[in-house]
Chain A
Amino acid sequence: MTSKNVHVKIGEMKTRIGHIKNLEVSIGKVVDDSWAEPMGPTPMPGLTTLRDWDMKLLNKYKPFYMPDCDLCCLCTSCSIGAATHTGHARHVVDHLIEKYGQRYPLDVGGLNVKVEAPVTRLVTGIKPETLGDLDEVLEYCEKQITHLLSVAHTGQEANNLDFESKALHAGRIDQVGMEVADIAQISVFDFPKADPEAPLIEMGIGTVDTSKPVIMCIGHNVVPSVGIIDYMKDNNLADKLEVVGLCCTAIDNTRYFNRGKIVGPISWQLRFIRGGFADVLVLDEQCVRTDASSEAERVKAPVIAASEKNCIGFKNRTNDPADEIVADLVDGKVPGVLILDPEKVGEVAVKVAKQIAPKRRKMKVLPEIEEIVALAKTCRQCNLCQRSCPQDLKIPAALKAAAEGNIVPLTDLYEECIGCGRCEEACPVKLEIHSFIVKAGERSMIEEKNYCRAGRGAIQDVEIRSAGGPIVLGEIPGIVAVVGCANYPHGGKDVYDICREFALRRFIVVTTGCSAMSAGSYKNEEGKTLYEEFSGNFAAGGVLNAGSCVSNPHIAGAAIKVANIFAKRNLRGNYEEIADYIHNRVGAVGLAWGAYSQKAASIASGFWSLGVPVLVGPHGSKYRRMLLGRADKKKDWEVYDARTGDKVNVGPTPEHLFQTVETKEEAMVAIAKLCMRPNDTWKGRSIKLSHYVDLHKRLYRTMPKDLHLFVRTTTDVPMTMKDEITKMLEAKGWKETVIPDPTLLPRMVRKKKE
């Protein structure tokens, strides 16, 4: 298993002190391979090990390219995403090994989670038990990422499908890297361990007690935040300051400290910084605005850069005495510092916040309404702001109204504004349009008081045993994973609406990252947020927050565990068989409604590699490559029946692997359709069809025209729609077909044809 320097293997040896069997020793590590499960065919796959599987997917879901140059950005995106998550994992693991030792045991759910690292087990064949075991896993990931990125060099891969295969491989590696990061931090920082009742965390600016000093953390790496929280606890300051966060740092802070607050998704950094709530900003890595520090300077909030990935040009003060750093920041001698020691970050952030809060008095740079009205009169109505706005917001019209004293149209823009600030860059008269919108929407912002469930991490094995059968048979209509970034086309409410729609329909809804926050940011008629309205169980009608971006593998892991725990398939280094199982049997769909980053691309790629389809919102079209099936090409939808070896047409189930949709309505219909799988029983297919038809009729005002592709036998037809659907089937010349034991792999056929 390991190959460090010297490796000794003793099959059997009788000695005076004892009888030794199957002992392997590596210098630096004692290897004990006591995991009884046999190794599968592809442990630690290289770039081309799973190429055949990739090509099965890519020949069915052919790329549709929308290139605006000759470089493929998706492949490099997936590599960058995989590198980011693996680098994050490496930082977390190295830090924890240094602090707690190699032998610190991994525990993501105690006795409730025995398959603690399904993705790692599947891809690498390693069952990690300690932090030290994760080191070996990361070495494998790092090697693969080096190879992957090298493929993007000039004059490398000549075939587009082979490039896509490597993008899928990057996705696999990304899933492993993320899983390593999350199981390490869950185990050591004692995050919620697969707990459906993980605490509800206060969310929204309205929940922040601004009478206290406020430390705002932005980014994705929880290690510096743990330093802050530990310092507060050690000095009895836990209730004297507010620790709040944006994006995954916030999600992970609040898994560690449930009095932390989540302010909101990452894309709204600008509004929160300009709003002046934060007395100190701590910036770590990933998705941090490059102008965060200069914006912080405007509101006189000192900045601590806490990650070597984002040094911001600040002087490295890691080895300086804490009190000297504090004095320089409080006195305003420097706007920010780089500190790479998380414990020092904690001490400095807390001391600075306490000292500077009374001086700052929450200074903000939002104009008053009267100023907005006066400044709006200088708008030339050139339209450059609207043209540069990714959302095409009607800014000129809103400014015209504001000039006449009516700020309601500006207020209306608040919900849909993603806070990029491009309007301000484009404005020839330098109007601070984003500040106008934020001021106009200030009341909404201050009143934001919601709940997000703390990220629970893994799905319990017992939950899989309970839900696995109904999922595979189709009686739970599907798993909808609503994940990813906040680059939404029309504000975060779409995410809430979609989650709620499918929870009410008894799908299992799982969220992570910015989407997890947006899902919890709205209330129903009874004033309950989504996580209060629905249980956190992995069961029909459950809404779970798995956690931060690095918690996404728990979703993939759930699908993998269905194959292992429910269907008793071996996991260990057995990627192709398990992916084939998931693709043909587990009705799961990912929805990254606001995807924009390279990490989102690699996360999606990891799901595609398992045969799980992913939808993105309209901004996701900017990835410039889709993986689309053709429902009209019958030949593409054949599988083997593993019982007989016959080829059976199972219809477009699922129709696409990666698809952009324009509207929330389209997303809902697509999700219902994409949850159908060849293995659905008649009861399961009937349930899924009823959701598809119901949504289609409600949102498209017409019956679907492709039902004949999804009805295999008359028992598939939902009883309540029998007459209508039967007529349609007759008009299409529909004929019954069999329900196979589906596989894309000839080697899985049990009965060979003669």
Chain B
Amino acid sequence: MKRAARPILVVGSNATERVIEGRPVIDYLIDFARASKVPVVATAHMVGEFLKRGYEPAGFMSAMDIGNRLVDPEWQGIDGKGHPDVALFIGMPYYMESLILLGLKNFAPDLKTITIDNLYHPHAHWSFPNTTLEDWANNLRGLTSNFKENSK
């Protein structure tokens, strides 16, 4: 993540449905996005959920659209300044996220993918493991705090 030049975080519709320690996952992601400054691409109707919580994603489009752009080497990213080199994923229906990762594995060979759900994704380059909700919260907080420390 630290070595990434142009990371993005793709957030799916389960971000509001999964709740850890009384907070929906999307709240953890907003903390992470603010600390890391990683641009967020919201899929489905998640843009409204981010806006409701006072955070404006860098972009929003359907999950298949972002997948389709990530396999296009000529796509210049959400901000038009260059193709992402690392894409983090969280919160899509498991099977859908897995399939999009398959598409990227096969057709976006230069892209590194990371998943930060509480379920292991074998088609990503790196993935959080299968964990309890408690460990998942700790992992997300840990990820965020790394960036907060580095920004000090």
Contact = CB atoms under 8 A, between A and B. Distances in A.
Contacts of B69: 630
Interface stretch (B24-32, B93-101, B144-152): B93-101
Contacts of B68: 64, 626, 628, 630
A390 interface: yes
A626 B103 CA distance: 11
A660 interface: yes
Per CB-CB distance, the 8 closest pairs between chain A and chain B, nearest first, are A701-B48, A665-B45, A66-B103, A662-B44, A66-B99, A663-B44, A64-B68, A621-B96
Given A67-B106, A392-B93, A662-B92, A624 B62 contact: no
A618 B98 CA distance: 12
B71 A700 contact: no
Given A66-B103, A628-B68, A660 B96 contact: yes
A632 B99 CA distance: 24
Contact of A662 (B43, B75, B103): B43
23 contacts: A65-B103, A66-B99, A66-B103, A619-B95, A621-B99, A626-B64, A628-B64, A628-B65, A630-B68, A630-B72, A659-B64, A660-B63, A660-B64, A661-B62, A662-B13, A662-B92, A665-B44, A670-B62, A699-B48, A700-B48, A701-B47, A701-B48, A702-B51
Contact of B93 (A64, A489, A628): A489
B33 interface: no
B89 interface: no
Interface in A54-77: 64-68
Nearest to B76: A632
Nearest to B43: A662
The range of chain A's interface size is 20 to 34
B52 interface: yes
A622 interface: yes
A669 interface: yes
A701 B102 CA distance: 31
Given A624-B99, A669-B45, A64 B106 contact: no
Interface in B77-135: 92-96, 99-100, 102-103, 106-107
A569 to B, nearest CB: 33
A666 interface: yes
Nearest to B50: A701
Contacts of A621: 64, 95-96, 99-100
Interface string B35-74: 0000000011101100110000000101111011101100
A728 B75 CA distance: 24
Interface in B1-43: 12-13, 43
B77 to A, nearest CB: 11
Interface string A610-647: 00000000110110101010101000000000000000
A701 B44 contact: no
B71 A64 contact: yes
B107 A65 contact: yes
Given A619-B95, A701-B47, A662 B62 contact: yes
Contacts of A702: 47-48, 51
Nearest to A670: B62
A542 B104 CA distance: 42
A661 B92 CA distance: 11
Given A65-B106, A628-B64, A662-B12, 20 more contacts: A64-B67, A64-B103, A65-B107, A67-B106, A392-B94, A619-B95, A621-B95, A621-B99, A621-B100, A622-B95, A660-B64, A662-B44, A662-B93, A663-B44, A663-B45, A699-B45, A700-B45, A701-B52, A702-B48, A705-B60
A666 B45 contact: yes
A630 B44 CA distance: 17
Which secondary structure characterizes the binding site on chain B? helix
B106 A662 contact: no
B48 A67 contact: no
Interface in A359-402: 390, 392
A300 B67 CA distance: 50
Nearest to B70: A64
A671 to B, nearest CB: 13
B96 A659 contact: no
Interface in A387-446: 390, 392
Nearest to B47: A700
Given A390-B95, A618-B96, A663-B13, A64 B47 contact: no
A422 to B, nearest CB: 13
A121 to B, nearest CB: 35
A674 to B, nearest CB: 12
Interface in A138-155: none
Interface string A701-713: 1100100000000
A618 B45 contact: no
Interface string A477-494: 000000000000100000
A75 B48 CA distance: 37
A669 B93 CA distance: 19
B52 to A, nearest CB: 6
Contact of B44 (A619, A632, A666): A666
A489 B68 CA distance: 23
A383 B50 CA distance: 31
A67 B107 CA distance: 10
B49 to A, nearest CB: 8
A222 B101 CA distance: 42
Interface in A647-673: 659-663, 665-666, 669-670
A661 B67 CA distance: 13
A160 to B, nearest CB: 12
B47 A666 contact: no
A666 B13 CA distance: 10
Nearest to B18: A392
A662 B96 contact: yes
Contacts of A701: 47-48, 51-52
Contact of B102 (A67, A659, A661, A663): A67
Nearest to A390: B95
The listed residue with most B CB atoms (<10 A of its CB), out of A68, A390, A618, A669, is A618
Contacts of A665: 44-45
B64 A64 contact: yes
The listed residue with most B CB atoms (<10 A of its CB), out of A621, A660, A702, is A621
A704 to B, nearest CB: 10
Contacts of A699: 45, 48
A699 B51 CA distance: 12
A451 B71 CA distance: 46
Contact of A666 (B62, B71, B106): B62
A457 to B, nearest CB: 34
Given A665-B44, A699-B45, A701-B51, A622 B99 contact: yes
Contacts of A630: 68-69, 72
A68 B96 contact: no
A65 B95 CA distance: 15
Contact of A661 (B44, B52, B72, B99): B44
Nearest to A67: B106
A666 B103 CA distance: 22
Nearest to A626: B64
Nearest to B51: A701
